């Protein structure tokens, strides 16, 4: 006999949402992401936040210069989730840029080993792509599990399916042309 599935009322489930918005640069993703009254940005591109500021956003921001800053922010909020109760939305602007920071991190962590092997320390090797994919996926899943609404932004790119139809996808590196 099959066990009865765990059925819950929607009213008893986690009340937080996770959304990804992707579009071309300059289309208003950041302005939208900062439009709530209580927003906390995690964003490596200060010039990107300027557009939200000019449109009247009163958001706060966490300074991000490298991958370790993102990890530190996640670690802090996972250990101190009550800090997020001051915000309605955690806006991560942008996932595309975050992946570039993760790529830089992977290259820095593997540089000495690559030099010993006579490889170019500035180029990802096959195993580096796996590491890159894992740390970005862990970051996304981790932030999505925090007790706050999470709004991700990403730039977009045009791809073509097998029938020649063009469509937009988030601009992320990953397997195939469609990214992560």
Which of 84, 73, 97, 82 lies closest to 22, judged by CA? 97
Q: For residue 56, what pLDDT is reported?
A: 78
Mean pLDDT across 93-109: 92
Mean pLDDT of 137-161: 93
Cα distance between residue 33 and residue 45, in whole Å: 14
Confidence of residue 173 (pLDDT cuts 50, 70, 90): confident
Angle between helices 95-116 and 67-79 (to 10 degrees): 120
For residue 47, what pLDDT is reported? 66
What is the CB neighbour count within 10 angstroms for residue 175? 9
Give pLDDT tens digits for 25-74. Answer: 888 888 888 888 899 999 886 566 777 778 878 788 998 999 999 999 99
Average pLDDT over residues 128-157: 93
Other CB atoms closer than 10 Å to residue 81's CB: what's the count? Answer: 13
Q: What pTM was estimated for this model as a whole? A: 0.84
């Amino acid at each position: 006999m099959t066990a009865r599935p765990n059925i819950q009322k929607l009213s008893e489930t986690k009340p937080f949402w996770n959304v990804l918005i992707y579009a071309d640069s300059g289309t208003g993703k950041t302005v939208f992401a900062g439009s709530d009254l209580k927003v906390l940005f995690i964003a490596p591109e200060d010039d990107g936040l300027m557009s939200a500021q000019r449109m009247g956003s009163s958001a706060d921001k966490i300074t991000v210069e490298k991958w370790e800053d993102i990890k530190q922010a996640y670690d802090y909020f996972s250990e101190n989730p009550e800090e997020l109760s001051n915000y309605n939305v955690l806006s991560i602007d942008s996932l595309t840029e975050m992946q570039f920071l993760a790529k830089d991190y992977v290259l820095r962590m593997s540089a000495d080993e690559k030099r010993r092997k006579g490889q170019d320390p500035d180029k990802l090797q096959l195993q580096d792509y796996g590491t890159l994919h894992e740390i970005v996926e862990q970051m996304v899943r981790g932030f999505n599990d925090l007790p706050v609404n999470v709004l991700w932004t990403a730039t977009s790119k045009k791809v073509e399916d097998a029938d020649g139809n063009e469509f937009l996808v988030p601009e992320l590196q990953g397997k195939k042309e469609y990214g992560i």
